[in-house]
Amino acid sequence: MNEQQGIGKRISKQEKVQDIERILEGFYPETPIPLDHTDSYTLLIAVLLSAQCTDARVNKITPLLFARADNPYDMAQVPVDEIRQIIRPCGLSPRKSKAISELSKILLQEHEGKVPANFKDLEALPGVGHKTASVVMAQAFGVPAFPVDTHIHRLAYRWGLTTGKNVDQTEKDLKRLFPKENWNKLHLRIIFFGREYCPARGHDPKVCPICSIYGRKTLFK
């Protein structure tokens, strides 16, 4: 559906959802994981570091960290202060360094040195919340998940896909609207689209490929 078709035409919520998904797939048919990693452990650490930090900066820091230790066995031996110094550019380094050290030790003590492939055990690890666990489950283990951060929450609200006041409600709404088998790729497509066409600042909804059609003023049946 183009912009002219969307003006003045009442459409169903499901038609809108399907068209938004089609637009996103058209822009981003491939969905590479933006955080550099080699396995589930390095992905977990990279996602933890990405909190309040750009993926680009994380990708500059993780090679330095993983050259020192790229598995829980080696990381558990690295002093927390040393981890902190390496990851300082990512921000929140006191908290993140402590979490990286502690979770590495827990993986050794409770999970035979392996990253658990379930939400309960992942979210029990220091520094790992639901969003981080969702990314790991989706991208490391291929389990359908829909990680929602503040950026995806903002876009979903802009596009009228949710009226949720927080990421938890937005996640529930998006999971209800989109097919489960598409969640993992869709999460990444929304991130890519937001960065390029629907940023938090300096956004012009009249030229955005989705907001220009499906802003919150769109009429529905």
8 A C-beta contact, residue 150 and residue 167 = yes
8 A C-beta contact, residue 134 and residue 146 = yes
> Which of 193, 186, 189, 187 lies closest to 211, judged by CA?
193
Q: Which residues pair with 220 in a beta bridge?
A: 11
8 A C-beta contact, residue 114 and residue 39 = no
Gap between the Cα atoms of 79 and 172, Å rounded: 40
Cα 62 versus chain centre, distance: 18
> Which of 108, 60, 62, 52 lies closest to 83, judged by CA?
62
8 A C-beta contact, residue 170 and residue 210 = no
Q: Which residues are catalytic?
A: 131, 149
